[in-house]
């Protein structure tokens, strides 16, 4: 249950505001926003998923995710990491009670190290390096049971100083990258089966060590405080 944040009393209320107050306010705002928008979307378009608002930057905080139970999937712009952090991903899904989608991430190829360009993506030397980054990052996402997909940033967007897109400014494909992307994409479902099998083995080992059933997180909106058995695989 998301409650309205309480204000401190007295003349020094503004000065005594704490991080907990700010987190409570952020959680309340997120919950209100997603609840209102989600209700409108479901009224007029009930057969599609509500995928949130692409949480990014300073908003990637536990309070934001705790306020996200009204969405179907939490979408996050995930930068400045060469490899996904499993514990961080799990914390997002646990706080929201929802699976997540990585809605923005990329690597750019530069003609030389001396170039200074704008953009949050990793700097690499070649199209092939961008493809290797793609493979490494998506393998990390596929291994996580709460990840339901990703969106590469972006289809086009190159300029004279950097290559960002899947195609250049003349819409010619960056073949060195796309070949490596395709190599992984063609194996997505076998890889999911592999990683889900590995995750099941880990859960069985944990159960054997603790004598307790493995559980999954549950949405606040599902109306139950009782843990549920861990899923044996991801839906497709």
Residue 203 inside a domain? The answer is yes
**pLDDT (0 to 100) of residue 115:** 72
Instruction: Quickly state the pLDDT bin for 20 (edges 50, 70, 90).
Output: very high
Tell me if 98 sits within 8 A of 69, measured CB to CB: yes
Residue 29 inside a domain? The answer is yes
- DSSP annotation of 222: G
Instruction: Quickly state the pLDDT bin for 160 (edges 50, 70, 90).
Output: confident
pLDDT, tens digit, 9 for 90 and up, residues 110-121: 988 777 888 999
Residue 9 inside a domain? The answer is no
Contacts of 6 (CB under 8 A, 6+ apart): 21, 24
Q: By three-state DSSP, how is residue 91 classified? A: helix
Residue 92 inside a domain? The answer is yes
Q: By three-state DSSP, how is residue 128 classified? A: helix
pTM, full prediction: 0.80
- Which residues on adjacent β-strands are paired with residue 74? 100
Q: By three-state DSSP, how is residue 38 classified? A: helix
Indicate whether 224 pLDDT > 60.
no
Residue 4 inside a domain? The answer is no
Indicate whether 10 pLDDT > 60.
no
With b for 16 or more beta-carbon neighbours within 10 A and e for fewer, the 52-79 pattern comes to bbebeeeeebebbbbbbbbbbbbbbbbb
With b for 16 or more beta-carbon neighbours within 10 A and e for fewer, the 153-174 pattern comes to beeebbeeebbbbbebeeeeeb
Determine the structural domain holding residue 24 and report its residue range.
Answer: 19-211
Q: Measure the CA–CA gap between 219 and 223, rounded to whole angstroms.
A: 8
Residue 156 inside a domain? The answer is yes
Q: Measure the CA–CA gap between 21 and 8, rounded to whole angstroms.
A: 9
pLDDT (average), residues 145-151: 96
User: CA angle 194-196-201, nearest 5°?
Assistant: 95
Q: Measure the CA–CA gap between 177 and 67, rounded to whole angstroms.
A: 37
Instruction: Quickly state the pLDDT bin for 62 (edges 50, 70, 90).
Output: very high
Residue 230 inside a domain? The answer is no
Residue 231 inside a domain? The answer is no
Q: Count structural domains, the chain.
A: 1
């Amino acid at each position: 249950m998301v409650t309205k944040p309480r204000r401190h009393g007295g003349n020094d209320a503004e000065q005594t505001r704490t991080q907990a107050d700010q987190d409570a306010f952020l959680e309340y705002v997120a919950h209100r926003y997603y609840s209102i928008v989600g209700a409108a979307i479901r009224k007029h378009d009930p057969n599609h998923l509500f995928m949130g608002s692409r949480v990014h930057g300073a908003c990637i905080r536990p309070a934001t995710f705790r306020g996200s139970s009204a969405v179907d999937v939490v979408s996050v712009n995930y930068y400045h990491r060469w490899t996904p952090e499993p514990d961080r991903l799990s914390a997002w899904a646990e706080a929201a009670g929802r699976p997540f989608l990585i809605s923005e991430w990329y690597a750019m190829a530069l003609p030389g190290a001396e170039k200074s360009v704008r953009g949050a993506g990793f700097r690499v030397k070649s199209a092939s390096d961008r493809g290797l980054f793609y493979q490494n990052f998506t393998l990390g996402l596929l291994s996580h049971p709460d990840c339901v997909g990703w969106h590469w940033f972006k289809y086009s967007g190159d300029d004279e100083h950097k290559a960002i897109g899947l195609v250049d400014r003349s819409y010619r494909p960056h073949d060195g990258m796309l070949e490596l992307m395709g190599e992984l994409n063609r194996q997505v479902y076998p890889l999911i089966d592999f990683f889900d099998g590995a995750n099941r083995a880990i859960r069985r080992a944990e159960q054997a060590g603790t004598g307790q059933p493995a559980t999954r997180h549950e949405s606040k909106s599902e109306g139950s405080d009782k843990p549920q058995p861990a899923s044996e695989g991801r839906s497709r």
